[in-house]
Structure 1
Amino acid sequence: MRLRFRHFSWFRRSQRGSVLVETIVVLPVITIFSIGLLEFGTILWQRHQIQTGVRDAARYLSRCTYDAATCSKIAKNIAFYADPLGTAATPTPGERVPGWNGSPASEFQVTPATPAIGDVITVYAQTAYRGSPLFSALGLEETIELEYYHQTQVFGF
């Protein structure tokens, strides 16, 4: 019996293998926390891009003097691509937010459809967050909706 206690007390005082055990316990927690932090940052970045696009489109519409259909089309291109032509003349062409223009859950509205000088227009946009595969690997399959609206008064030129 004494022999068992002697080995047990040696095991309690020994430091061998403690780093491995601590790493095995802490590493999954740190990994999941890091993935969550990256996903949250991506959600905030995409929402910021939608806000910027909607504000830019609303500013354009508040000064636009063309017909309503042309103004709305150009404003939509400004919101989606940051380019009035819709071709994204930036070094890396593409949408501000991946899937914003092509997603069935995406929405872009301007009200009223034909504003007059002095009217207040509302530009509204919505899209579903398209996360990384790691987000769904954690079992978080629920859709996150990103939406934003901006109101401004129509001034004309």
Structure 2
Amino acid sequence: MTRFGKIIRGFQGDESGAALVEVAITVPLVLLLSAGVFEFSNVLNTRLLLEAGVEDGARYMARCSSDWATCMGSAQNLAANGVVKDGSARVKGWLPGKVEITKRSLAATDLATGTQIYLSSKSTVDVVIVSSDYSYPDLGFLSYLGFGPLTLNVSHQERVLGW
């Protein structure tokens, strides 16, 4: 034990290598934090691109003056690719076929309270709803932390002005 004690006493007061130990402790934490910030910002950017797409598709569909099928195909392409014909995907893997477009007739006034919701000469107004689900391709960080697959849901509605 005395021999071991002499070895230990030899290290007392010696500070060489302290910076290396500090770096070895802090670098993994900084890298983990940086990876989390990158992953979160990538999810947020993807969500914003999806929202912009469904808003563009709904706006186009609400003002389209052609028949429903023609307008729907163009609006789906606009939502996913940013242009009415062809184009490249706003978000990798988000195809026009994944964009759902529905039309709904809503009451212009709230029947329970009598409050006018939409200014209209008719008792109903047509609203187009564009929505989509997107499975976010995990870069590995979320699954490393134990999270399951992430699905982003976006939806937007516009009052129909065309047709």
Could you tell me the TM-score, scaled by structure 1's length?
A: 0.79
CA separation of 1:9 and 1:36: change in aligned 2, threshold 3 A: same
The number of residue pairs the alignment matches comes to 145
Residue 153 in structure 1 maps to residue 147 in structure 2: no
The residue that corresponds to 2:150 in the other structure is: 144
Equivalent residue letter for 1:100:
W
The one-letter code sitting in structure 2 at the alignment partner of 1:142 is G
Residues 1:33 and 1:101: Cα distance change in structure 2 (over 3 Å)? same
* Bigger Rg over Cα: 2
Structure 1 residue runs of 5 or longer lacking an equivalent are 89-93
SS of 1:26's equivalent?
A: helix
- Paired residue for 1:119? 126
Q: Indicate yes or no: 2:123 matched with 1:129.
A: no
Alpha carbons of structure 1 residues 60 and 76: separation in structure 2 relative to 1, 3 Å: same
Structure 2 CA distance for aligned equivalents of residues 141 and 26 of structure 1: 24
8 Å contact 2:57–2:76 — kept in the other structure?
A: yes
Secondary structure at the counterpart of residue 14 of structure 1: coil
Partner of residue 98, structure 1: 92
**Residues 1:20 and 2:26 aligned together:** no
Summarize the Cα distance change of 1:28–1:137 in structure 2 as closer, same or farther, 3 Å threshold.
farther
Greater strand proportion: 2
Consecutive unaligned residues of structure 2, counting only runs of 5 or more, are 106-123
* Partner in structure 2 of residue 72 of structure 1: 72
Contact 1:129-1:145 within 8 A present in 2 as well: yes
Q: Runs of at least 4 residues of structure 1 off by over 4 A? A: 1-10
The DSSP-based 3-state class of the residue aligned with 1:34 is helix
Contact 1:81 1:96 in 2 (8 A): yes
Superposed CA RMSD in Å reads 2.8
